[in-house]
Amino acid sequence: MLGAAVQPLRRGEAVSTGFAEVRGGGGAALPWRCAGTVVGALLNHRAALAALGDAVHQPPYKAPPKAPVLYIKPRNTWAGQGAKVVVPAGVAELEVGATLGLVYRRTACRVNSASALESLLGCIVVADICVPHSNFYRPSVRHRARDGFCPMSERVIARDALPDIDQLAVRVWIDGEIVHHTSTAGMQRPAAQLIADVSEFMTLAAGDVLLLGVAFGAPRARAGQSAIVEIEGVGRLEMSFVAEPVPLP
């Protein structure tokens, strides 16, 4: 586990996290696996928040959120490259939320936006899977925390290897057809501001992952389909969807 004494990566310099070796300048060595807590941010995409329309002023919301709306993807949700995601019985399809994962190399507590990115080790590709639902008030555990609902890529790309993490193209393919094309540029809170706002009330530790947010209009997949999530400069994440086994009588 990395401590606060770790210095920023320089291009071409490697640092061991105990879970991956990340190299400045664009390379990353396998394997990487999550070592902390995965924290997601809801409604951090401007269009997703706008889609609530007047409902954001009605119960149970009553007003637009003033602080990040957070939820947890617990350990049982974690999966890797090539994951087989189980579509629960009685659910027609799952939402495939493509998002950038910000991986921490040291503690971030009450950091300001100017220095927030210095606490990062690098970035990964994450598929934030959930059962489609329309209520974002007090995020539902049963819709978001099912087994295997958080596939994560096995490569960490160093922050300094990416030109601008707030300007990365994000694409999703279903069965080989591109169905969603967006960018990290559409966020209500860009990466540095999200880190600053979250760390104002919650300490983020080395090994934690903060999800930047899912764009509006995330595609859906059914059992029998496959998906690829790609983030420019960070990598590709492949998965397939399978029906939940029918229990024997």
- Percentage of the chain surpassing pLDDT 70? 77
Rounded to a whole number of angstroms, the distance between the first and last alpha carbons of the chain is: 47
Higher local confidence (pLDDT), 20 or 41: 41
Task: Render pLDDT for 53-77 as a digit per residue (tens, 0 to 9).
Answer: 565 555 655 566 677 889 999 999 9
Which tokens hold the place of 87?
């579509």
Q: Please give the backbone phi and psi of residue 75, each rounded to the nearest 5 degrees, phi first.
A: -55, -35
Q: What angle do CA 192, 193, 194 make, to 5 degrees?
A: 90
Is domain 14-19+37-68+84-243 annotated with CATH 3.90.850.10? yes
Average pLDDT over residues 87-107: 95
90's CB contacts (< 8 A; 6+ apart) are: none
- Percentage of the chain surpassing pLDDT 90? 62
- Nearest of 162, 208, 227, 234 to residue 70 by alpha carbon: 208
Residue 165 reports pLDDT greater than 70: yes
What is the spatial distance between Cα 2 and Cα 106, in angstroms, rounded to a whole number?
6
CB 88 within 8 A of CB 146: yes
Average pLDDT over residues 77-106: 95
CB 34 within 8 A of CB 209: yes
Higher local confidence (pLDDT), 189 or 12: 189
Give residue 27's pLDDT.
Answer: 46
Q: Residue 162 in 3-state DSSP?
A: coil
CB 126 within 8 A of CB 150: yes
The pTM assigned to this predicted structure is: 0.83
Give residue 138's pLDDT.
Answer: 58
Which tokens hold the place of 12?
């071409």
Residue 16 reports pLDDT greater than 50: no
Mean pLDDT for all residues in the chain: 82
Residue 230 reports pLDDT greater than 80: yes
Q: Residue 9 in 3-state DSSP?
A: coil
Q: What is the DSSP string of 170-199?
A: EEEEETTEEEEEEEGGGBSS-HHHHHHHHH
Give residue 20's pLDDT.
Answer: 42
56's CB contacts (< 8 A; 6+ apart) are: 49, 63, 64
Residue 54: count other Cβ atoms within 10 Å of its Cβ.
6
Average pLDDT over residues 106-123: 94
Average pLDDT over residues 94-101: 97
Q: What is the DSSP string of 197-212?
A: HHHTTS-B-TT-EEE-
Average pLDDT over residues 195-201: 95
Could you state, in order of their start, the residue ranges of all structural domains in the chain?
14-19+37-68+84-243
Residue 19 reports pLDDT greater than 50: no
Give residue 244's pLDDT.
Answer: 93
